[in-house]
Structure formats: structure tokens, C-alpha cells
A and B are shown apart, each in its own frame.
Chain A
Amino acid sequence: MKKAFLNRYHSEIPLKEEKSNLFLEVSTAVSVFLFSIVLAAYFMMTSMVSSWNKSIIDGLTVQIMPSSEALTADEELLRLNKVISFFDERDGVEKVRVISNEQIKHIMSPWLGENANIENLPIPKLLDVKLKNGKTFDYQKVSSELKEVASYASIDNHGIWLQKLMKSAAALKMLSLFVLAVVLSALAFSLFYAVQTSLRVHQNIIEILHIMGATDNYVAKQYAKRGLWTGFISSVIGTILGFGVLIMISHLSSGLETGLIGSAKLSLWHWGTIALLPPMTAVLSMILSFLSVKQTLGKMM
């Protein structure tokens, strides 16, 4: 029974003995290794951006610097209201809230102590601007418009800085997608080249099979089977190497203790996706081999 099963997948074309197999295996393993690293980088950047985005998407903090001149309470209130109105009138703002002295005192307590009298200190007033769900600002634009209305107020530059970083990260994400496409194309090209070489080497055998009535599908299936196994075994090796490097990077970066990079972690879902590379490569390799053979045989006898 077992022998019958094995014979069913018998191949007349000696593909296992081909010298080009090593080239195909190495190029597939290297491609999958690079792919796994770049894919992980893409995932890390996505989670970093998402974490940064989350920190600024909910709202922003506005500082109203104390005046260098002595102002009356009404004048202070006028300054404050001018900034509140600026944000209230903007589309996408849900709520503007003045952060109370008590809250500021609490925030400052690690530096000033619990009993500090902040009323006598030149501490800026803070506004918490909450944005509507899904709304975001062009921080640089809003910041410069605010300067025109109230030069003494400024948006907390943490958000602006993060947004600049996010733009760079988005560009890097695009770049990583491009690299993934390049790696994939290189893999497809090497597979196509290996199949073409093999078809030339075994042209005589393929002609005999054709004379005996083999269809192009019959021949292409033998290459597809080779593609499936070579793709799977090589990509398992590439993925294991990739996992090794990623675990090392993850271990090294855990010692950095930086808030920004700390958010660049791979979730279980990300690891799972990378682990799916071998079966996906195997199927891709099988399909590409099959189509490549079919396309070439169409021009033969």
C-alpha cells in the first residue's frame, strides 16, 4: 500500500539529481531569511507607529506660558479663553479642559514635593484638548496657527515630534514593503531560471514523455512537486535562521529600556505570520514551477 502510494508520485524526470537544486535551495533559503527579517521589521514599525499614534490620537496638551508682566485675574482669564476658543472652534475637537492647579500639583509632586505652593511659581497653565474619535491634526499647521492667535501658547512638542517620527516610520514601512517585493521577485526569478535550465537539460526526456502521450500538465506536475518540497525545506531553513536573528534582536533591544523602541515588539500574531512563511513559500514555489513549465512547454513539440 505504501509502495503504491509512493509510486503514485513517481517522477520520470530526474529532478532530484539536478545540480541546479542546490542553487535553488540556497537562493530560496536566503530569500526567505531576508523576507522574514524585513517582514518582522515591517511588523515592528507598524506596532511602534500604532503605539505612538495611540499616544497622540486621543488628544494633545497645550501650554500657556505665564506672562513676564504682572496680569490681573481678568487678563489671565482672557488669555486662557482666547486659546480655549481657538481649539473649541476647530473641527474635530470634542472637549477642551483646563487642567486644574491640583492636578498640576500632583503631576509636579515627584519634583516639587507634595506640599509645594505652585501658585507662586511660574508654571504654565495646561489645557487638555480631547479630539473626536478618529480625528487627528496636522500638528505643525495647528501649532503655527496658534502662534498667530496666541503667541504665548504652544502645543506640547512631544506630539509634533512623534508625528514627524511617524511620517519617517511610514516611509520606512513603504520601503520595507518595497524590499519585500524585491525579495519575492528575486525568488520568483531564480525559480523561473532554474525551471528553464532544467527543461533544457531534460528536453530529451520530456520529448519522449510527450511522444508517449503525456500532457503538459503531467510534466508540469513533476516540477510542481519538486517546487513544493524544495520550497518547503529551504524556507524552513530560512525561517529558522530568521527566527534566530529576530530572537537575538529582541533580546538585545529589551535591554535598551527606551519608551519609543520598547513599543517595537512582535506580537504572537506577528510570530505566527512569520512561521507561516514555509508553507506559503512552498505553495508559491509549486504554483510558479507549474506555470513556468506550462508556459515553456507551450512552445515545445
Chain B
Amino acid sequence: MEAHKNMLTEPIIDMYNVCIRYGKDPDVLKDIKLTLQKGSFHFLTGKSGAGKTSLLSMMYLALKPSAGTVMIFGSNIGYASRDAMAALRRRIGVVFQDFRLLEHLSAYDNVAIPLRIRGMGENEIKKRVKELLSWVELDKSMDKICSTLSGGEKQRVAIARAVINRPEILLADEPTGNVDNDIAVKLMKLFIELNKLGTTVVIATHSKELIAEYNYPQIHLENKGLKIIPALRRAQ
């Protein structure tokens, strides 16, 4: 617990005066200032179109800011080389709202991708992937091609793929949106466990129940800006 508290004084994502704009359209987000400490847990909230996906895209390094500075793991992404960006991305796990699985591959192969990218040996990959897929109750579907899985199963594959690498930052866009309540609770427990191990977690959600139940601080997007709503009490 002490170690976890110490982590919370170490910034892992720093944004200064960041603007996001697509082409010549008006700013989606303007003058954003945000610091996330290592080991923190936040919900990302805001109405549809408030810029949640844009902010997450910037955090997982798929989008560069139109203006301002973004520092991730202490690196300014504006000046990072392609290989350096790839190395930073390997430390981040992402769960997309639309899953973004490789539909032609099996559940097993989808979850194995981050480990293969790291160049891990197949025996170790097999062990880790099987263990995690069992944990998300997909051990019987691991050889199924993803296009044949249900929405809930796809979401669990997407989450397994995001966490298999034990990422330092976990970004999730509506991760419990397509699963039943029991699985949602189990997935939230997984995120909390990862967070206790030091992973910085940001979960974009519309679910007031989820926010109320787990009561972590919120990064709330409104009027192109951002405000932090502190947690009222710690989750048990």
C-alpha cells in the first residue's frame, strides 16, 4: 500500500495547453492541462462528442496534439521517433469501444499479438494466453475465429489482449458496455488488481452506476475543456 502511495507522486501522463483539432474543423479539446500519476485510477466522463475518444487516442499515441505538449513516460511525443513511439505503445494497453479485434484470427491469436510483438517465445505465450483466457471464461472459445464470437466474448478478448502485456497504462473505452453484470464486476476487479500492481487506469464510460459503485476520480470533459472531479470515498 505504501509503495502504491509512492507511485502516486510520479507523473506518467502530462499534458500542457493541449489542443485537438481535425483538419480545419474547430477545436475538439482546447487548452487541456492534465497530469496523471503512476498508479492512479480515473474514469473519463463527458457527453457524447465531448472528446473522450480523442483524448484517449492521444494517450495511446494514435493522435498527436494540434498544439501543446504531451509527455508520456517522460517522453515528449512530439519529438519521439517512430521506433520510440512503438516502444512507448508497448507499455500501454488499450480496450476499444468497438473492440478492434483482428476478426480473421482466433481469440488465442488476438490475445497473443502484444506478446508476439515483444518477441516472446511461443511456450511462454501459450501459458500466459491460456491462463488469461480461462480467467475471462473464454478457455473453450480460444480457438474460435473472432468473427464468430458474440459481442460480450469479443469484449473479453479485447480486454485480455489489452492486459496480457501487464501494461503500465491501461486505457479502456466503455469496457463493460457489452457484457453482463457478473462479467462486468469481474472485469472491474481485474482493472482494480492491475491498478494495485501499479498500472495507471483510465476508463471512459457513460455508466453512472459504474462511477457511483467504484467511485474513483473523474476526468470530466465539458465545453472543450477538462475538470477533475475527486472521488468521494475509496473503492473497497
Q: Which residues of A contact B (CB under 8 A)?
A: 3-4, 7-8, 10, 12, 14, 17, 204-205, 207-216, 218, 298, 301
Query: Cα distance A8–B102 when bound, in Å?
Result: 18
Q: Nearest chain A CB to B217's CB is how many angstroms away?
A: 26
Cβ of B116 within 8 Å of any chain A Cβ, yes or no, is yes
Query: Cα distance A7–B106 when bound, in Å?
Result: 13
Closest to A297 in B: B82
Chain B residues whose CB sits within 8 angstroms of the CB of A211 once the complex forms? 60-62, 89, 94, 100
Q: Verify A212–B114 contact, CB threshold 8 A.
A: yes
Cβ of B86 within 8 Å of any chain A Cβ, yes or no, is yes
Query: Cα distance A211–B102 when bound, in Å?
Result: 13
Return the contact of B86 from the options A7, A17, A208, A214 (Cβ within 8 A): A214
Return the contact of A298 from the options B82, B116, B123 (Cβ within 8 A): B82
* Chain B residue total in the interface (Cβ 8 A): 28
Query: Cα distance A10–B83 when bound, in Å?
Result: 22
A213-B122 contact, Cβ under 8 Å, with A12-B105, A205-B102, A208-B102: no
The residue among A14, A209, A218 with the most chain B CB atoms within 10 A of its own CB is A209
Query: Cα distance A17–B104 when bound, in Å?
Result: 11
Q: Verify A12–B62 contact, CB threshold 8 A.
A: no
Q: Verify A7–B122 contact, CB threshold 8 A.
A: yes
Q: Which residues of B contact A (CB under 8 A)?
A: 60-62, 82-83, 86-92, 94, 100, 102, 104-105, 109, 113-114, 116-118, 121-123, 125, 161
Further pairs besides A204-B100, A210-B89: 10, Cβ < 8 Å: A8-B122, A10-B109, A14-B104, A208-B100, A211-B62, A212-B113, A213-B90, A213-B114, A215-B83, A298-B82
Chain A residues whose CB sits within 8 angstroms of the CB of B161 once the complex forms? 212
Return the contact of B62 from the options A205, A207, A298 (Cβ within 8 A): A207
Return the contact of A212 from the options B89, B104, B121, B122 (Cβ within 8 A): B89
Query: Cα distance A248–B61 when bound, in Å?
Result: 61
Chain B residues whose CB sits within 8 angstroms of the CB of A216 once the complex forms? 82-83, 86
A4-B122 contact, Cβ under 8 Å, with A12-B102, A12-B105, A211-B89: yes
- 10 A-B pairs with the lowest CB-CB distances in the bound complex, closest first: A213-B90, A213-B89, A4-B122, A215-B86, A7-B122, A214-B117, A212-B114, A14-B104, A213-B86, A208-B100
A10-B116 contact, Cβ under 8 Å, with A211-B60, A301-B62: yes
Q: Verify B113–A12 contact, CB threshold 8 A.
A: yes
What are 8 A-to-B residue pairs whose CB atoms are below 8 Å? A17-B104, A208-B100, A213-B90, A213-B117, A215-B82, A215-B86, A216-B86, A298-B82
Query: Cα distance A120–B163 when bound, in Å?
Result: 109
Q: Verify A212–B90 contact, CB threshold 8 A.
A: yes
Query: Cα distance A178–B62 when bound, in Å?
Result: 46
Query: Cα distance A158–B82 when bound, in Å?
Result: 68
Chain A residues whose CB sits within 8 angstroms of the CB of B86 once the complex forms? 210, 213-216
Query: Cα distance A215–B80 when bound, in Å?
Result: 13
Chain A residues whose CB sits within 8 angstroms of the CB of B121 once the complex forms? 4
Q: Nearest chain B CB to A176's CB is how many angstroms away?
A: 43
Query: Cα distance A209–B92 when bound, in Å?
Result: 13
Query: Cα distance A17–B145 when bound, in Å?
Result: 15
Closest to A301 in B: B62
Q: Nearest chain A CB to B175's CB is how many angstroms away?
A: 16
Q: Nearest chain B CB to A135's CB is how many angstroms away?
A: 60
Chain A residues whose CB sits within 8 angstroms of the CB of B92 once the complex forms? 213
Chain B residues whose CB sits within 8 angstroms of the CB of A209 once the complex forms? 113, 117
A213-B87 contact, Cβ under 8 Å, with A4-B122, A4-B123, A208-B100: yes
Query: Cα distance A15–B86 when bound, in Å?
Result: 23
Closest to A216 in B: B82
Q: Nearest chain B CB to A15's CB is how many angstroms away?
A: 11
Chain B residues whose CB sits within 8 angstroms of the CB of A298 once the complex forms? 82
Chain B residues whose CB sits within 8 angstroms of the CB of A214 once the complex forms? 86, 117
Chain B residues whose CB sits within 8 angstroms of the CB of A10 once the complex forms? 109, 116
Query: Cα distance A10–B117 when bound, in Å?
Result: 11
Q: Nearest chain B CB to A216's CB is how many angstroms away?
A: 6
